[in-house]
Amino acid sequence: MPEELLRTFRKQGYQLAGRHSAVKTCHWTRQSLLTSERRVCYKQKFYGIRSLRCMQMTPTLGRCTQNCLFCWRAGALDLGLAWNQTLFPPEEADEPEVVVEECLKAHWRALIGFKGNPKVDLELLNLALNPVHVAISLEGEVTLYPMIGELIEEFFRRGFKTVFLVTNGTLPEVLENLSREPTQLYVSLCAPDEETYVRVCRPAVKDGWERVNRTLELLESFSCPTVVRHTLVRGLNMRNVEGYAKLDLKANPTYIEPKAAMAVGFFLNRLPREAMPTHGDVVEFSKRLSELTGYDIIDESRDSRVTLLSRLEKPIKWGCFNAPSHP
Of the candidates 221, 164, 155, the residue with the CA atom closest to the CA atom of residue 188: 164
Q: How do the domains of the chain map onto residue ranges? A: 3-310
> CA 154, CA 152: separation in Å to the nearest integer?
5
Mean pLDDT of 52-67: 96
> What is the average pLDDT value for the chain, to the nearest integer?
94
Q: Which residues contact 3 (CB under 8 A, 6 or more apart)?
A: none
Residues in the chain, overall count: 327
Predicted confidence at residue 319, as pLDDT, reads 62
Q: Alpha-carbon distance 71 to 69, whole Å?
A: 6
For 4-30, what is the mean pLDDT? 93
pLDDT at 82: 83
What is the full DSSP assignment across 115-167? GG-TTS-HHHHHHHTS--EEEE-SSS-GGGSTTHHHHHHHHHHTT-SEEEEEE
Task: List, in sequence order, the alpha helices (H) in the chain.
Answer: 3-11, 27-34, 42-47, 96-111, 122-128, 148-157, 172-176, 194-201, 208-218, 241-251, 267-270, 279-293
CB 266 within 8 A of CB 71: yes
User: Could you report the per-residue pLDDT of 181-236, keeping only the tens digit for each?
Assistant: 999 999 999 999 999 999 999 999 999 999 999 999 999 999 999 999 999 999 99
pLDDT tens by residue, 151-170: 999 999 999 999 999 999 99
Tens digit of each residue's pLDDT (9 = 90 or more) over 276-320: 999 999 999 999 999 999 999 999 999 999 999 999 999 999 864
Give the pLDDT mean for 99-115: 97
For domain 3-310, give the fold: TIM Barrel (3.20.20)
CA distance 139 to 119: 30
The predicted pLDDT at position 326 comes to 38
What's the whole-number mean pLDDT along residues 8-35?
94
For 203, which DSSP code? B
CA distances from 123 to 38, 128, 134, 242 (A): 15, 9, 20, 49
Residue 76 has pLDDT above 70, yes or no: yes
Res 327 pLDDT > 80: no
